[in-house]
Amino acid sequence: MANHRFSPVSEGEQPCCDISRKAQICLCVVLSLLVLVIIAVVTAILMWPRSPPNHKEWQGSGTTAHFGDIVLGRCYTYTQIVRPELRDKDCQKIQEVFLKSFLSKDPCDATEQDYQPLIELANQTVPCNKTVFWSKTKELAHQYTRVQQALFTLENTLLGYIADDLSWCGDSGSSEINYQSCPTRRDNCSSNPVSVFWNTVSKRFAEDACGVVHVVLNGSLNEAFDRRSTFGRVEIHNLHPKKVHTLQAWVMHDIGGVRSDSCSSSSIRDLKSIISERNITFTCQNNYRPVRFLQCVKNPEHPSCTSGI
Ligand code: 2NF
Distance of CA 180 to CAs 66, 171, 212, Å?
13, 11, 43
Is 128 a residue of the active site?
yes
In short, whether 176's Cβ falls inside 6 Å of ligand 1 is: no
> What is the amino acid identity at position 27?
L
Alpha-carbon gap, residue 178 to 168, rounded angstroms? 7
Residue nearest to atom 15 of ligand 1 (CA): 230
Strand-pairing partners, residue 131, are 152
Alpha-carbon gap, residue 210 to 232, rounded angstroms? 18
Residue nearest to atom 40 of ligand 1 (CA): 195
In short, whether 95's Cβ falls inside 6 Å of ligand 1 is: no
Task: Band the pLDDT of 29: cuts 50, 70, 90.
Answer: confident
In short, whether 96's Cβ falls inside 6 Å of ligand 1 is: no
Single out the catalytic residue among 91, 169, 189, 210.
210
Pocket test for ligand 1, best of 131, 230, 252 (most atoms within 8 A of CB): 230
Per-residue pLDDT of 158-204, as tens digits, reads: 999 999 999 999 999 999 999 999 999 899 999 999 999 999 999 99
Residue nearest to atom 42 of ligand 1 (CA): 195
Phi and psi, residue 41, nearest 5°: -65, -45
Per-residue pLDDT of 125-161, as tens digits, reads: 999 999 999 999 999 999 999 999 999 999 999 999 9
Share of the chain above pLDDT 70, in %: 90
Residue 12 has pLDDT above 90, yes or no: no
Is 210 a residue of the active site?
yes
**pLDDT greater at residue 40 or residue 66:** 66
Spell out the CATH class of 60-306. Answer: mainly alpha
User: Do 294 and 143 touch, CB atoms closer than 8 A?
Assistant: yes
pTM, rounded to two decimals: 0.84
Distance of CA 309 to the CA centre of its chain: 38
In short, whether 231's Cβ falls inside 6 Å of ligand 1 is: yes
What is the mean pLDDT of the segment spanning 76-102? 98
User: Do 110 and 116 touch, CB atoms closer than 8 A?
Assistant: no
For position 79, what pLDDT does the model report? Answer: 98
Residue 4 has pLDDT above 50, yes or no: no
